[in-house]
């Protein structure tokens, strides 16, 4: 039985064992085992040539990892919190995401950038932000978010195997929220597919990461009202698995998209746009978003007001079910 | 024992004030530590216990209209620049009476009235802001100086290089004050920087660099006075590196695997900045022991009442969530 953070450490251990080109770089990932212990024990096992403690130099770490990837290594970079990534933004959007195209496919840019993200742990802005949309907007980059210990390991190993650069976002709130059986061997989950956690007929709930337990709880509450909700975990925010969400929307005719990032230009907006382009004829009500507010993430006293929760999701579903 | 000459500018009355202030900083952070453990403060926080002399000494030199930028470990800077400990504590408790109306917390306190342009949750984030504030002073001929606090870890961020270069070519009234507390989280400065002193980097920008004993209040004052005077005269920036040590972990989740108990004990027993100052005050017969104890007690009581103020203050209202994002 592993927590998500343990399964992430385990995935990296397996990758380091299997492929000598895999390297870990990051701040405090070595002796300290990572700020959230996502690399616990790896420095002891693989040494400081493969698990590399770096200075506080995000642009330098990400940029030099691209140089390593171009030379055939498979770097896995840890950024301590997603909001600490911004000094490396230039390296990511201008270089990491474009190197394959720029070299006409000559250079591989196979690398993974891992970053804990999201709220729900009482930490302030810059330690709780959900800025995934910046990166989803960047062609050439994949963005993957797990929602369980099992999928975290499978998706991370899938990301490491992938020849493209992958931003792997780890929901802080789920790091230790529950344990489950995770095979100790190598296995992957497809990193470009959504996952259906619940089948339903009346409404489709789409979310990812820390929203998934909320959507499952909401679907449970809705059963008591005779509403059958389908829960779809996007997993891959870029590219978006259109087939799965279109099929579900056609079946249920109602869609609620839930994310904790601010509403404006969140990934929910992109999903809503695609649904309206392709399946609007099948919809029986407007597409609804339950999202964070367009404000910097608040401190703990107002965190509950900011974040999506079961009640907000149920209320949104009711609006759609009773839409006329 | 501190052997540095007592700065001539320092009167006995000011000595009282500084001694009291160092205790105020220490008790503030010890209370924060306590209430974090009790669950009244959430998320994370970074304590400056053991580093009181840098904030106190550097800010002592500044005039009220001078400005500072601070760091994620900024409670000491904030207090030394004149912040109200009640409003600070309220902010950490996420209360409406706090400096950010309970919406920012430990790493985002700014106190514009006292010239504090803000703590900063991003390592190295404040360094270019200090340069902009100094450029404002120069262009508008406002006469104020900016003192920019940052740590040894920040000195390896790109913002450090860009900011120091700009300040030096524009000859800005800014003092770059590096508090080298030996570790950037778990990263020992010895492994992360390939030179003995971060202060030596000053030569790369063509500005003076000074390396000092950061737990010696008088040495901090002496170096800062010189740098501030140079800045005020229009001669440009200085880089000061003050060697110090944080007694507590980096943040609230730190097993401190990267250093030894012996090292911690050395800094606590031999180099406690408050104890060093007290010893010197007593040996030079500047103040009586009883008076020092009274000042210490007074600081403790102030912090106790700050906690009371924070506990009694209301939480921010739900409607405040969307306030202050746009004009």
Per DSSP, helices labelled H in chain A are 4-18, 42-46, 58-70, 89-90, 99-102, 132-136, 149-161, 211-223, 242-252, 267-278, 300-306, 310-321
Q: Which domain holds residue B128?
A: 34-312
- Tell which residue, A113, A90, A77, A135, has the closest CA to residue B162: A90
CATH fold for the domain made of A4-174: Rossmann fold (3.40.50)
Residue B146, min C-alpha distance to chain A (Å): 24
Per-position DSSP letters for A75-127, written without gaps between them: EEEE-SSGGGGGGGHHIIIIIITTHHHHTTT-S----EEEEEE--SSS--TTS
CATH 2.60.120.200 for domain A195-321: no
- Measured in whole angstroms, the distance separating CA B140 from the mean position of its chain's CA atoms is 27
Per-domain residue ranges of chain A: 4-174, 195-321
Question: Where residue B44 falls among pLDDT bands split at 50, 70, 90?
Answer: confident
Q: Is the CB of A83 inside 8 Å of chain B's CB atoms?
A: yes
Q: What is the pLDDT confidence band of residue A108, given thresholds at 50, 70 and 90?
A: confident
Determine the 3-state secondary structure of A258 from DSSP. Answer: strand
The values of phi and psi at residue B295, to 5°, are -65, -40
B310 touches chain A (CB under 8 A): no
What is the Cα–Cα distance from B177 to B150, expressed in whole angstroms?
6
Give A247→chain B minimum CA distance, Å: 37
If pLDDT is split at 50, 70 and 90, which confidence band does A124 have? confident
Asked if A253 reaches chain B (Cβ–Cβ under 8 Å), the answer is no
How much is the pLDDT for B1?
67
* Cβ count near B64 (within 10 Å): 10
Distance, CA of B166 to chain centre = 23
Q: Assess if residue B151 is contained within a domain.
A: yes
Q: pLDDT by residue (tens digit) across A29-77?
A: 999 999 999 999 999 999 999 999 999 999 999 999 999 999 999 999 9
Residues of A that are catalytic: 127
What's the mean per-residue pLDDT of chain B?
A: 96
How far apart CA A112 and CA A159 sit, in angstroms, is: 7
| CATH assignment of the domain containing B156 | 3.40.50.970
Residue whose token pair is 């009235």: B113
Of A54, A57, A127, the CB nearest to B44: A127
Mean pLDDT along residues B63-87: 97
In a domain, B28, yes or no: no
- Asked, for residue B322, whether it belongs to a domain, the answer is no
**Mean residue pLDDT across chain A:** 97
Task: Judge whether B142 lies within some domain.
Answer: yes
pLDDT(B33) > 80 = yes
Q: Report the pLDDT value the prediction gives residue B3, as an integer from 0 to 100.
A: 82
ipTM metric: 0.91
Chain segment A261-318, per-residue pLDDT in tens: 999 999 999 999 999 999 999 999 999 999 999 999 999 999 999 999 999 999 999 9
Q: Which residue has the tokens 């005077």?
A: B229
pLDDT band at B251 (very low <50, low <70, confident <90, very high): confident
Specify if B76 maps to a domain.
Answer: yes
Q: Which residue of B has its CA nearest to A262?
A: B322
């Amino acid at each position: 039985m592993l927590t998500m953070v343990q399964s992430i450490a385990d995935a990296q251990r397996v990758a380091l064992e299997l492929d000598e080109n895999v390297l870990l770089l990051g701040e405090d990932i070595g002796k300290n085992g990572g700020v959230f212990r996502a690399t616990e024990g790896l420095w002891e096992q693989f040494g400081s040539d493969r698990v590399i403690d770096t200075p506080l130099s995000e642009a330098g770490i990400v940029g030099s990892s691209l140089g390593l990837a171009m030379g055939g290594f498979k770097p896995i970079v840890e950024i301590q919190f997603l909001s600490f990534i911004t000094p490396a933004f230039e390296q990511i959007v201008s270089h990491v995401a474009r190197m394959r195209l720029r070299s006409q496919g000559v250079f591989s840019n196979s690398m993974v950038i891992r970053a804990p993200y999201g709220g729900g742990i009482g930490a302030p802005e810059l330690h709780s932000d959900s800025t995934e949309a910046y990166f989803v907007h960047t062609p050439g980059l994949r963005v993957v978010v797990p929602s369980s210990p099992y999928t975290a390991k499978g998706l991370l190993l899938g990301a490491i195997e992938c020849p493209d650069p992958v931003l792997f976002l780890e929901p802080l709130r789920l790091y230790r929220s529950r344990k489950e059986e995770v095979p100790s061997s190598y296995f992957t989950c497809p990193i470009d597919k959504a996952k259906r956690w619940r089948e339903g007929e009346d409404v489709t709930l789409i979310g990812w990461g820390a929203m998934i337990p909320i959507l499952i709880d909401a679907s449970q509450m809705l059963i008591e009202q005779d509403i059958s909700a389908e829960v779809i975990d996007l997993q891959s925010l870029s590219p978006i698995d259109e087939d799965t969400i279109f099929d579900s929307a056609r079946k249920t005719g109602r869609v609620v998209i839930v994310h904790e990032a601010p509403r404006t230009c969140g990934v929910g907006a992109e999903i809503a746009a695609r649904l309206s382009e392709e399946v609007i004829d099948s919809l029986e009500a407007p597409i609804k978003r339950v999202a964070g507010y367009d404000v910097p993430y608040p401190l703990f006293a107002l965190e509950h007001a900011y974040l999506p929760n079961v009640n907000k999701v149920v209320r949104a579903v009711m609006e759609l079910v009773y839409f006329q | 024992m501190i052997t540095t000459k007592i700065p001539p500018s320092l009167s006995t009355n000011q000595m009282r004030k500084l001694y009291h202030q160092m205790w105020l900083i220490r008790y503030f952070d010890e209370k924060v530590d306590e209430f974090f453990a009790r669950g009244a403060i959430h998320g994370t926080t970074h304590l400056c216990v053991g580093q009181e002399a840098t904030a106190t000494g550097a800010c002592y030199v500044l005039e009220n209209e001078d400005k500072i930028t601070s760091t994620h470990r900024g409670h000491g800077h904030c207090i030394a620049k004149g912040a109200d400990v009640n409003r600070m504590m309220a902010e950490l408790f996420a209360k409406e009476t706090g400096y950010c109306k309970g919406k920012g917390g430990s790493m985002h306190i700014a106190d514009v009235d006292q010239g504090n342009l803000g703590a900063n949750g991003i390592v190295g984030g404040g360094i270019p802001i200090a340069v902009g504030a100094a450029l404002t002073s120069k262009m508008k001929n406002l006469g104020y100086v900016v003192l920019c606090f940052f740590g040894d870890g920040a000195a390896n961020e790109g913002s450090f290089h860009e900011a120091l270069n700009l300040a030096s070519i524009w000859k800005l009234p800014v003092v770059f004050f590096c508090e080298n507390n030996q570790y950037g989280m778990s990263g020992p400065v010895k492994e992360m920087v390939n030179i003995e002193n971060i202060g030596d980097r000053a030569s790369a920008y063509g500005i003076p660099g000074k390396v000092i004993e950061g737990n010696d209040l008088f040495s901090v004052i002496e170096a800062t006075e010189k740098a501030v005077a140079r800045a005020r005269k229009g001669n440009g920036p200085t880089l000061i590196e003050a060697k110090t040590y944080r007694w507590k972990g980096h943040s609230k989740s730190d097993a401190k695997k990267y250093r030894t108990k012996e090292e911690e004990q050395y800094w606590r027993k031999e180099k406690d900045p408050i104890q060093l100052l007290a010893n010197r005050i007593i040996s030079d017969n500047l103040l009586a022991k009883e008076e020092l104890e009274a000042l210490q007690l007074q600081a403790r009581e102030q912090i106790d009442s700050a906690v009371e103020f924070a506990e009694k203050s209301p939480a921010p209202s739900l409607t405040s969530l969307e306030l202050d994002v746009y004009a």
